[in-house]
Chain A
Amino acid sequence: MNSRIGFVAFNTFREAVRDRVLYNLIAFALMLSGAAILVGEISIDIERLVVVNLGLTAVSLFGVVIAIFIGIGLVSKEIDKRTLYTVLSRPVRRWEFVVGKFFGLTGTLVVNTFFMALGVFLALLYVAHRFQKMDFWVLVALYFIVLQFFIVCSLALFFSTFSTPLMSAVFTFALFVIGSLAEDLRGFARVTQGVAGWIATGIAYVVPNFSALNIIGAVAHGDPVAGRLILYSTIYALLYSAIAISGAVLVFQHRNLK
């Protein structure tokens, strides 16, 4: 990796960590363990199902909120605070800055996910007293959640290059919600005719397909995940993120920093 991208990424990560975001997650992990104890007492035979469902959904939602919360300010905050002036007056190209910011935020989220995943596995261990073979698929589901974070970060970053933090948050969250219903949207598009059908198809394929990256339900039931799905999902998430980051670079490259 270009060293300047690495330096920008590390500074972004350091800023996020010092913003006490990670400390919230420790609290989250503790809360999850508490919830697992409670669930273990009120459910019979489906403790594992509930813990995996509850835990992974919380990891996903919590991570998305953090990705949006930090991502929307990544560029706009630097412009508003004018911290960017002393960075871009150095041999740092604008695209390097944007890409560095992306890696910094995704790095933060990967670390967050690691700690949150520890909470999930501790809760699993508490209710089942031992790990099982099918718990491996929980790791795959966590990997899919990280892929979702990549897309959310790239979208938040994209909107951050030309919009206010509030509007960026609204756009990104709206896309996350619509994207989580992408499979339903595609189904709707298939049964709709005419112009409405064209529009629905267009939207269904343009919005990020978060529903395809959500395998929490299947994993909670202990179903295995096909290798091909992992490969395709990885390619899809990386490609989608790359396109969104390219858009961010394109906008930022021509932006006047007033």
Chain B
Amino acid sequence: MAAIEILDLEKSYSVGFWRKRPKLALRPLRLTIEEGEVFGFLGPNGAGKTTTLKLLMGLVFPTAGSARILGLDMHDPRVKSEIGFLPEQPYFYDHLSARELLNYYGQLSGVPAKERSARVEKMLGRVGLTDSAGVQLRKFSKGMLQRVGLAQAILHDPKLVFLDEPMSGLDPSGRREVRDLIQQLRNEGKTVFFSTHILSDAEALCDRVAVIHQGELRGVGSVAELTSQTQGKIEIIFYSQRIPAGLTNLGAHARISGDMVNAVLPEEQQDAALEILRSEHLKLISLVPLRNSLEEYYIQKLQPTEGRVQEERKGVAV
């Protein structure tokens, strides 16, 4: 069963004071996320990632379309018991301590009173906040608030977790901890849908990614497939303080870096390139085929399509 089925979900807002006109925040979006998947929702700021998450959470209402979450209509109240949500740059009741806040959310999520206290302590431990559990949240740093946010999202053991920019505002060790947590959630069989614009995180964690830009879905793909495709080029690194003339003739783009040369050339020239190195007695350090990176895929998907260029010329508000 699909964990999330987004069926032509669309959102536009009215802008302007006197003459109201619609501003499209999300073009009809059709997307399916399978159970147990870690799915990355990529896009630059203002692309429509948060709007999509807010639509799925029922915080804003769609202009058109619908979605099914865990087999139920997204507005079905039963859905909310099975999902967890971390908003972007979360704010919490700062008059509460982390322990009180988690207890409150546990109450609202229907965690039985008998289990609640133990569950709260376990979550505090899991996000490394046991020592600060009694401190009011107004004294917490941004990174600590993010941890509280993660704890509240998984407190009630949801099947599906939505995370909006979970690494934002975290230092490198904090980011690593969040990555580990998402990895643990995957191992526990949970479905994770997270939005980010940090591509290295998405590449390290996601089974599949979607790229969204200007409210429009630009592409969906498996990270493994995307990064396993070669570009038809190889990269050769060898010791030398000059670029052999033969390599340039083979169409290589080469540069000298210290006492090494780094050259990129077409795959079919591999044998000829190696022959040149051998004949000039140059020591090879490495030879690797160049693979596509998620970054390349992302950048490629952000390029305007022909239809979009025409629309932008016509001045369609997005």
**Across the interface, do A86 and B60 meet the contact criterion of CB distance under 8 Å?**
no
Q: Does A11 contact B (CB under 8 A)?
A: yes
Residues from chain B with a CB closer than 8 A to the CB of A14 are 95-96
Q: Which one of B77-85, B123-131, B175-183, B227-235 contacts A? A: B77-85
The CA of A3 and the CA of B84, in the complex, are separated in Å by 20
Query: A85-B85, A89-B83, A91-B109 known; A257 and B90 CB under 8 Å?
Result: no
**Across the interface, do B54 and A90 meet the contact criterion of CB distance under 8 Å?**
no
**Across the interface, do B58 and A88 meet the contact criterion of CB distance under 8 Å?**
yes
**Across the interface, do B92 and A83 meet the contact criterion of CB distance under 8 Å?**
yes
Q: Does B214 contact A (CB under 8 A)?
A: no
Q: Does B1 contact A (CB under 8 A)?
A: no
Most buried by B among A84, A85, A90, A257: A90
**Across the interface, do A15 and B90 meet the contact criterion of CB distance under 8 Å?**
no
Query: A83-B91, A86-B92 known; A91 and B108 CB under 8 Å?
Result: yes
A77 to chain B, nearest CB (A): 10
Query: A81-B91, A86-B90, A91-B108 known; A256 and B58 CB under 8 Å?
Result: no
Most buried by B among A4, A86, A88: A86
Q: Does B318 contact A (CB under 8 A)?
A: no
Residue of B nearest to A81 (CB): B91
**Across the interface, do A90 and B108 meet the contact criterion of CB distance under 8 Å?**
yes
Residue of A nearest to B109 (CB): A90
Within the complex, which residue of B13, B78, B105, B149 is in contact with A90, where a contact is CB–CB below 8 Å?
Answer: B105
A70 to chain B, nearest CB (A): 13
Interface size on A, residues (CB 8 A): 26
B51 to chain A, nearest CB (A): 9
**Across the interface, do B104 and A7 meet the contact criterion of CB distance under 8 Å?**
yes
Residues from chain B with a CB closer than 8 A to the CB of A4 are 107-108
Most buried by A among B81, B93, B156: B93
Q: Does A228 contact B (CB under 8 A)?
A: no
Query: A7-B104, A86-B152 known; A256 and B60 CB under 8 Å?
Result: yes
Q: Does A27 contact B (CB under 8 A)?
A: no
**Across the interface, do A82 and B87 meet the contact criterion of CB distance under 8 Å?**
yes
In the complex, per-residue mask of B53-66: 1 if CB is within 8 Å of any chain A CB, else 0: 01001111100000
Residues from chain B with a CB closer than 8 A to the CB of A130 are none
Residues from chain A with a CB closer than 8 A to the CB of B58 are 88-89
The CA of A42 and the CA of B118, in the complex, are separated in Å by 62
In the complex, per-residue mask of A87-104: 1 if CB is within 8 Å of any chain B CB, else 0: 111111100000000000
Query: A89-B80, A89-B85, A90-B109 known; A83 and B93 CB under 8 Å?
Result: yes
Query: A88-B58, A256-B61, A258-B60 known; A7 and B107 CB under 8 Å?
Result: yes
Q: Does B110 contact A (CB under 8 A)?
A: yes
**Across the interface, do A86 and B85 meet the contact criterion of CB distance under 8 Å?**
yes
The CA of A184 and the CA of B104, in the complex, are separated in Å by 47
**Across the interface, do B109 and A254 meet the contact criterion of CB distance under 8 Å?**
no
A23 to chain B, nearest CB (A): 14
**Across the interface, do A82 and B57 meet the contact criterion of CB distance under 8 Å?**
no
**Across the interface, do B59 and A11 meet the contact criterion of CB distance under 8 Å?**
no
Residues from chain A with a CB closer than 8 A to the CB of B61 are 254, 256
Q: Does A18 contact B (CB under 8 A)?
A: yes
A190 to chain B, nearest CB (A): 42
Q: Does A45 contact B (CB under 8 A)?
A: no
Within the complex, which residue of A11, A87, A257 is in contact with B54, where a contact is CB–CB below 8 Å?
Answer: A257
The CA of A82 and the CA of B87, in the complex, are separated in Å by 9
In the complex, per-residue mask of A1-37: 1 if CB is within 8 Å of any chain B CB, else 0: 0011001100100110011000000000000000000
The CA of A21 and the CA of B61, in the complex, are separated in Å by 36
**Across the interface, do A18 and B108 meet the contact criterion of CB distance under 8 Å?**
no
Residues from chain A with a CB closer than 8 A to the CB of B83 are 89
B149 to chain A, nearest CB (A): 8
The CA of A19 and the CA of B96, in the complex, are separated in Å by 11
Residues from chain B with a CB closer than 8 A to the CB of A86 are 85, 87, 90, 92, 105, 149, 152
B163 to chain A, nearest CB (A): 12
Most buried by B among A14, A84, A91: A91
Query: A86-B85, A91-B77 known; A11 and B104 CB under 8 Å?
Result: yes
A223 to chain B, nearest CB (A): 43
**Across the interface, do B90 and A82 meet the contact criterion of CB distance under 8 Å?**
yes
**Across the interface, do B92 and A257 meet the contact criterion of CB distance under 8 Å?**
no
Residue of B nearest to A89 (CB): B85
Question: In the complex, which residues 66-84 of chain B have their Cβ closer than 8 Å to any Cβ of chain A?
Answer: 77-78, 80-81, 83-84
The CA of A3 and the CA of B59, in the complex, are separated in Å by 22
Residues from chain B with a CB closer than 8 A to the CB of A87 are 108
Q: Given known contacts A82-B90, A256-B61, what 15 new A-B pairs fall within 8 Å (CB)?
A: A4-B107, A7-B107, A11-B104, A84-B59, A85-B57, A86-B87, A86-B92, A86-B105, A89-B57, A89-B162, A90-B80, A91-B78, A91-B80, A258-B13, A258-B60
- Chain B residues in contact with chain A, CB under 8 A? 13, 54, 57-61, 77-78, 80-81, 83-85, 87, 89-93, 95-96, 104-105, 107-110, 149, 152, 156, 162
Q: List 5 A-B contacts (CB under 8 A).
A: A7-B104, A14-B96, A85-B85, A91-B109, A258-B60
